Amino acid sequence: MKKTAFIILLFLLSTSLYAETTPEVKDEFSFIDLFVYKQPVKKGDDKKKFSLNIAGGYTETTGNTESTATTYSGSIKYDNDITEFKISGFGSYGKVDEVVTENKGSGTINFDHYIFWRIEIFLYTMSDYNKITMLEHRNGSGCGIKFSFLRNEYLRFDISGAPIYQYEKYEEEDPEKTWRWSLRGRFEIFPFSDDFYIKYAVFYIPEIGEHENYRTTHEVTLYKKLVGALGIKAGYRREYNTYDKEAFIENPDLKKTDSTTYIQASLTL
């Protein structure tokens, strides 16, 4: 499996490095168009740079919680194709027989800037909480580098890495402060489309010096425009945390995996 993944990665890298960077205008689609690298060019004054998205809907959760709940998300973004600044958030809340079975949320601030046509520097900070797992507050902040393999109207693929400083506080426990690595792979279909897109991202976040202690996140998002500013958004998010022995002593029913499936009505301006 690892060998196959390496071969695919090597193929994408070699293809993208030798692909056209200034493609000619064509009347018909050809296979090579998938591997054309679209260099970032600063948008003109007449191009849209700001966008706002608000969404809410229904979610089904399995793992530490078994329930149905409402889900909500929102983001505001500035993007001139060279610099991007984005604030986003996601949360869900639900009850079963008047017992709260779902109460969690997360928020992220991102800043990305191209310093070369394939390389970006980025800064970000992320905070989240999960009342069911007794996580009061977790924050991770850092800066790093992103490398783009593919970037065109059809496909986008990049990897990024950064050291992050993490603050983590669980109920009835002292806060923990650690340094971690944050490694991400991202793959998108129709990345620049306002009508339809599919996005997939995977995060691997191990503690520096103790790689047995790590978190992973897989997230898939699908969006389809319906009419005007209205659309529909669906997704799946799977989170895994190794935790430490003390966490299972405090909460014997704790599970390492949480998964969330959701569908939302979306408004994009």
Task: Inform me whether the pLDDT recorded for 26 exceeds 80.
Answer: no
Mean pLDDT of 226-233: 96
- Alpha helices by DSSP H, listed for the chain, are 2-17, 245-250
The gap between the terminal CA atoms of the chain, to the nearest Å, is 42
Residues 26 and 125 in one domain: no
pTM of the shown model: 0.83
Task: Inform me whether the pLDDT recorded for 257 exceeds 50.
Answer: yes
Q: Which residues of 187-212 are buried (b: 16+ CB within 10 A; e: fewer)?
A: bbebbeeeeebebbebbbbbbeeeee
| Cα gap 227→221, rounded to integer Å | 19
| Cα gap 106→125, rounded to integer Å | 11
Residues 58 and 169 in one domain: yes
| Cα gap 218→57, rounded to integer Å | 20
Q: Which domain holds residue 3?
A: 1-37
Residues 87 and 17 in one domain: no
Using CB atoms within 10 Å of the CB of residue 33, give its burial: 0 to 12 exposed, 13 to 18 middle, 19+ buried.
Answer: middle
Number of Cβ within 10 Å of residue 237's Cβ equals 20
Residues 135 and 177 in one domain: yes
Tally of structural domains, the chain: 2
Using CB atoms within 10 Å of the CB of residue 254, give its burial: 0 to 12 exposed, 13 to 18 middle, 19+ buried.
Answer: middle
Task: Give the DSSP letter string of 133-158.
Answer: TTEEEEEEEEEEEEEEEEESSSEEEE
Residues 21 and 102 in one domain: no
Residues 175 and 64 in one domain: yes
pLDDT band at 69, cuts 50/70/90? confident
Residues 57 and 6 in one domain: no
For the domain that residue 68 is a member of, what is the CATH number? 2.40.160.40
Residues 95 and 63 in one domain: yes
Query: Helix-strand-coil percent breakdown of the chain, rounded to 5?
Result: 10, 65, 25
Task: Inform me whether the pLDDT recorded for 13 exceeds 50.
Answer: no
Closest of 114, 194, 117 to residue 150, by C-alpha: 117
Mean pLDDT of 101-121: 94
Residues 29 and 106 in one domain: no
SS3 at position 173: coil
Q: What is the pLDDT of the chain when averaged over all its residues?
A: 87
Residues 78 and 11 in one domain: no
Task: Inform me whether the pLDDT recorded for 113 exceeds 90.
Answer: yes
Over the stretch 142-192, which tens digit does the pLDDT of each residue have? 999 999 999 999 999 999 999 999 999 998 888 999 999 999 999 999 999
Task: Inform me whether the pLDDT recorded for 19 exceeds 60.
Answer: no
Residues 17 and 48 in one domain: no
Residues 8 and 104 in one domain: no
Task: Inform me whether the pLDDT recorded for 47 exceeds 50.
Answer: yes
Top-confidence residue, 110 or 29: 110
**Tokens, residue 18:** 């030798």
Let me know how many helices (H) and strands (E) the chain has, helices first: 2, 12
At residue 146, the pLDDT reads: 98
